[in-house]
Amino acid sequence: LELPGFAVWMFVCLYASVIGYPNGKVREACTSMVPCHGSSPQLSPEHTITVNGTEFKPGDTIEVHLSGPDFEGFFIQARDAEHLDSPAVGSFVLADRRRSQLLTCGRTKNSAVSHTSKVKKKDIKVYWVAPGDAPKHVQFLATVVKKYRIFWVKIPGPIVSQPGVLSPTPPLYATSEAMSTSHPVSYISKPFSASSCGIMKFCIRNPTNCDPGSASCFFLSFQREESSVFIEMSGPSEGYLAFAFSHDQWMGGDDAYLCVNEDHRVHVSTACLKERSHPLLDSENALEDVAWRLADGILQCSFRRSIRLPAYKERFNLDTSYYIFLADGEATDGGLIYKHHRQPLVTDGLYNVTGLPQDIGGSRAPRLIKAHGALMFVAWITTVSIGVIVARFFKPVWSHSFLLGKELWFQVHRMLMLTTVMLTSISFVLPFVYRGGWSQQAGFHPYLGCAVMALTIFQPLMAGFRPSRHAPRRQLFNWFHWSTGTTARILAVVTMFLGMDLPALDLPDPWDTYAMIGFVAWHVGTDVLLEIHSYCLVRKAEVIEDDRVQILQSLTSAEAEGRLFKQIVLTIYVCGNIVFLVAFLIAINQV
């Protein structure tokens, strides 16, 4: 009969770790008096319990008064002072039904009192009625919740005794420190050091080899100490830092550890990640020597845990290899955390943090997503752009040059466009392989990507049915060919703009936006320059023909001049595109 009840209590407790108990119906905490808020109790009580008498007889009523600084929730019981783990004794009567309510713990009706809402209060008064089978000594206990993560458990109140019974010697007290589910918390005096990384510590740093004291360094270290591991974590965050051990590179079924900033205090807790949902915070911590520091926008925390924790089924053994996640995000003043605003840092392989010390980095973008972005940049920044310029402006320049039986400009254009089709097709498949299907969190990016892919396939198919040069439908084909290609290029640029800021490939802001704007301006500027030059050449040829003076020599000179100018512009344009491409590829490699 005990096991099912315990299982139910665990389920409700884990569920309550997310939503809390704003209505005060906390019967699940009758035994432990610990609210399932996923953090450790405070150690020094701010609230006191007073009574209007020190003796009682069965049937007597004692006034109990809980007071102190503003608090949201409370839970009051009376227990056998010599056996504080025993069930609640006696029953209560309310003095204010608007702010307090009666609860039944165990088999004793009305044996506890709790709040009715989160409305702040400074004091609560109730009446305790002594039962006929009361123990010799009774002590009042209270759990007080100031905020979601700031609470005290089993604050000791006065001990009342039956007449003629000696007071217990020594006096019995149930202090918050004695009932705490974690060890005392201390303060870190200075930033962590990376000097022992790879020598005595297993370290993860992002960016690679960064200094933990810098304002942009995410740092996580593990140092083995006999049967335990000492863990340090720091990074630029005003909300929370978290890391997790995982059997794969996906969230779900992971062993997580969170350091959350709440009102300039850091609470360290363990949690379990169930798929892509809010972490289920544990009501009990298996962590020791907890310490923290907040300075200059950097959050630091450290703690120690045993390599093996058989009593905690959700905690992984640390002498096994795992993927390691490192995430950061925002948190409310009450300690509730929001979803990380960018992709977590994930190691590129399985690592055993208790094995050989290493100093590694990680990536915030999976390799398949990096490859997806890199191939798309190659296709739509280099091959397409150069292919369009060649087809638009180099027909007259390379009209007398041939390659494999075809005009040179056409062969170059076709080769570049077919390369674009191949790169886009390969890149298009990679996100589906990574996600295992369609992504619901990528906004318009996948929809536009599908449109670009469709146009990319349609364009060469349409080119395969190109009419002959002098056919009546050739003008119609030219218009469709140009409009389809232009639409694809515009959509591709928009899709890349959207993709650069997705969590899976979050390139540095605002650099990525400026660089993409620069590339668009570079391409449009080159296009406009060549259009102006072509127009000037045509006008010059018309003037020469009107004058009828040295027509052949002048036309030849104009053509030579135009050919040289276009070749210079094309060379500069290709070099510029390569610069943009290299910049984007470097940025992708660094995320």
Asked if residues 347 and 558 have their Cβ atoms less than 8 Å apart, the reply is: no
Dist CA 170 CA 197 (whole Å): 51
Segment 272-282 shows an average pLDDT of 72
Same fold flag, 27-161 and 186-363: yes
Confidence of residue 364 (pLDDT cuts 50, 70, 90): confident
In the sheet where 150-161 sits, what is the strand order?
100-105, 108-115, 73-80, 137-147, 150-161
Six token digits for residue 279: 């972490």
Residue 173 φ/ψ, nearest 5 degrees = -135, 140
Domain ranges for the chain: 27-161, 186-363, 367-590
Dist CA 194 CA 156 (whole Å): 44
Dist CA 258 CA 280 (whole Å): 11
Residue 588 φ/ψ, nearest 5 degrees = -65, -40
Work out the burial of residue 60: count CB atoms within 10 Å of its CB; fewer than 13 is exposed, 13-18 middle, 19 or more buried: middle
Closest to 342 in 3D by CA, of 359, 364, 314, 361:
364
Segment 461-473 shows an average pLDDT of 87
Confidence of residue 575 (pLDDT cuts 50, 70, 90): very high
Segment 162-182 shows an average pLDDT of 49
- Mean pLDDT for the chain? 83
- Render the burial of 416-426: b for 16+ CB within 10 Å, e for the rest: bbebbbebbee
Segment 239-261 shows an average pLDDT of 89
Query: What pLDDT digit, counting tens, does each position of 231-244 carry?
Result: 999 999 888 999 99
Segment 509-529 shows an average pLDDT of 89
Of 11-25, 130-144, 338-352, give the range with the top mean pLDDT: 130-144
Map residue 205 onto helix, strand or coil. strand
Q: Which residue has the higher pLDDT, 549 or 503?
A: 503
Asked if residues 122 and 68 have their Cβ atoms less than 8 Å apart, the reply is: yes
Identify the bridge partners of residue 204 per DSSP, sorted by sequence position.
220, 360
pLDDT value at 11 more than 80: no
> What's the pLDDT score for residue 529?
92
> What's the pLDDT score for residue 534?
82
Map residue 107 onto helix, strand or coil. coil
Determine what percent of the chain is predicted with pLDDT higher than 70.
86
Segment 574-579 shows an average pLDDT of 92
Right CATH number for 367-590 from 1.10.10, 3.10.660, 1.10.287, 1.20.120?
A: 1.20.120
DSSP character at residue 271: E
Asked if residues 88 and 30 have their Cβ atoms less than 8 Å apart, the reply is: yes
Dist CA 439 CA 297 (whole Å): 34
> CB-side exposure of 51: number of CA atoms within 13 Å?
22
Block residue for tokens 């639409």: 487
DSSP character at residue 322: B
**Which region, left, alpha or beta, applies to residue 551 given φ > 0 means left and ψ of -120 to 50 means alpha?**
alpha
pLDDT value at 540 more than 90: no
Strand 288-295 relative to strand 185-187, pairing = parallel
Asked if residues 233 and 331 have their Cβ atoms less than 8 Å apart, the reply is: no
Domain 27-161 CATH class label:
mainly beta
Of 66-80, 259-273, 399-413, 495-509, give the range with the top mean pLDDT: 66-80
> What's the pLDDT score for residue 168?
54
Six token digits for residue 334: 């009450």
pLDDT value at 106 more than 70: yes
Right CATH number for 186-363 from 2.60.40.1210, 3.30.420.40, 3.20.20.410, 1.10.10.10?
A: 2.60.40.1210
Amino acid at 360: I
Work out the burial of residue 350: count CB atoms within 10 Å of its CB; fewer than 13 is exposed, 13-18 middle, 19 or more buried: middle
Segment 151-179 shows an average pLDDT of 66
pTM of this prediction exceeds 0.85: no
- CA distances in angstroms from 159 to 151, 172, 327, 449, 507, listed in the order given: 22, 8, 48, 72, 63
Confidence of residue 552 (pLDDT cuts 50, 70, 90): very low
